Structure 1
């Protein structure tokens, strides 16, 4: 924590008007959490919830002001690959399966484990859907025309061999 973060946290977390922990409101908790960014938001929020849960259990405070306060963390989506780069990757892929894998990774953000777990029965070409197996559940992926064409080309090549 930098010096300016510490100063802002002190100013926000310990306003002059609070003389006891019983005077802390949910607004004070929100203010203390919003000072932080990134993973620190969850750490501060969790610590405050733990603190007030323990204080309530020990009957130091009568209500838990952190109970209904939620901390949100914005997780940025990965950037899209520009279409000219994607076309270049597809041109360099030597086989039909390689082109299909490039499309699944670049367009639909499937990981290597998810691609390895795919079965032929997971692909529904008529509906344009693919079921990806993820940690205990199946995720439906709606395929675009390019990916569907590449998967069909791979299946055609596979049947010919």
Structure 2
């Protein structure tokens, strides 16, 4: 694959941050939590696919301006846009969909809110499989599974491990 200037800049940023050296942080985590692929650079565009965490993608371009934070990627026959914050370096110049991990020790609740009983705790840095999220007056909560525990966690307590963009 011939690298375009935006992709070279993206990879240079990764290397400059020391993120392409040696083993990738992705190798330490189980691969879960797919990234949603949209037909255009924004969540208002139609969803065309899901790409599993850990899957290597070809980055076509990352954009600034009105569509900043979105990257066009190719994964097999799928070509579309993902949030830049879902991408992480995967070593040797590769880019992958980053897994979702707990930012710190996260309480898993039986329902989407702190008023629900706690069913388990996910340790800081541990991979979770993040499912659908809901928004309520209590904030954004996501359905998660980790280590045999399934429940709800606050979205702000989860992150994509090794993601270049926040």
TM bucket normalised to smaller: under 0.3
- Structure 1 length-normalised TM: 0.21
Larger RCO (CA under 8 A, 6+ residues apart): 2
- Structure 2 length-normalised TM: 0.21
